[in-house]
């Protein structure tokens, strides 16, 4: 019903915030298929917000990875999944099982996210959990590094 009401206005953009969270995989699959059909039929752009990496890999052409409320990596699906650059993106993908089952051990991300209410963050938001952090990560905000015309990351330690 919510999708029908949204489409009645003939939008050019739909923002779907966790549209399949807490659904069983069969219903989730049906919703995702319907979203794809509607996108193609009505030529609608979609911003799909989700914590579910497997759903994102299936639905999205371009992916933005956020950490502590800030975009840290952006690129096309293949670049982000096959060649992640930001340490958080790498850690996120390492902590998620694959369909092929080729990961023997899933790696948790150490530490805790920053408290955005009490901490002033004039540094990289991931620096306290990052295994690759260098001094500039702790003292200044990182700049965007363009890796290709369709892939960039916000990191002071990209080589």
Per-residue model confidence as pLDDT tens digits over 34-63? 888 988 998 999 999 998 888 898 889 999
Q: Are residues 79 and 30 in the same domain?
A: no
Tally of domains within the chain = 2
Q: Are residues 101 and 142 in the same domain?
A: yes
pLDDT at 65 over 90: yes
Q: Are residues 41 and 101 in the same domain?
A: no
Where among 43, 60, 77 does a domain terminate? 60
Q: What is the pLDDT of residues 97-148, one digit of tens each?
A: 766 666 667 778 888 888 888 776 788 999 999 999 999 999 999 999 999 9
In angstroms, the CA 10 to CA 91 distance is 39
Helix (H, G, I), strand (E, B) or coil at 71: strand
In angstroms, the CA 118 to CA 99 distance is 39
Q: Are residues 137 and 105 in the same domain?
A: yes
Q: Are residues 53 and 121 in the same domain?
A: no
Where among 39, 60, 81 does a domain terminate? 60
Q: Structure pTM?
A: 0.85
CB distance 89 to 65 below 8 Å? yes
In angstroms, the CA 76 to CA 61 distance is 6
Q: Are residues 67 and 142 in the same domain?
A: yes
Is residue 6 very low, low, confident or very high in pLDDT (cuts 50, 70, 90)?
confident
Cα 43 to its chain centre, rounded Å, is 23
Helix (H, G, I), strand (E, B) or coil at 34: helix
Predicted local confidence at residue 115, as pLDDT = 85
In angstroms, the CA 13 to CA 19 distance is 15
Q: Are residues 54 and 102 in the same domain?
A: no
Q: Write out the residue range of the structural domain in which residue 8 sits.
A: 1-60
Q: Are residues 94 and 53 in the same domain?
A: no
In angstroms, the CA 156 to CA 22 distance is 37
């Amino acid at each position: 019903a919510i999708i029908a009401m949204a489409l009645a206005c003939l939008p050019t953009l739909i923002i779907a915030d966790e549209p399949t969270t807490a659904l069983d995989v069969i219903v989730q699959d049906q919703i995702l298929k319907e979203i794809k059909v509607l996108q193609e039929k009505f030529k609608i752009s979609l911003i799909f917000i989700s914590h579910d990496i497997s759903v994102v890999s299936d639905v999205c052409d371009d992916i933005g990875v956020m950490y502590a409320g800030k975009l840290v990596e952006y690129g096309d699906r293949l670049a982000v999944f096959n060649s992640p650059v930001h340490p958080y993106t790498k850690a996120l993908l390492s902590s998620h099982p694959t369909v092929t089952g080729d990961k023997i051990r899933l790696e948790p991300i150490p530490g805790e996210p920053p408290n955005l209410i009490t901490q002033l963050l004039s540094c990289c938001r991931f620096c306290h959990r990052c295994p690759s952090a260098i001094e500039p990560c702790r003292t200044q905000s990182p700049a965007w590094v363009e890796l290709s015309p369709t892939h960039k990351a916000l990191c002071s330690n990209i080589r």
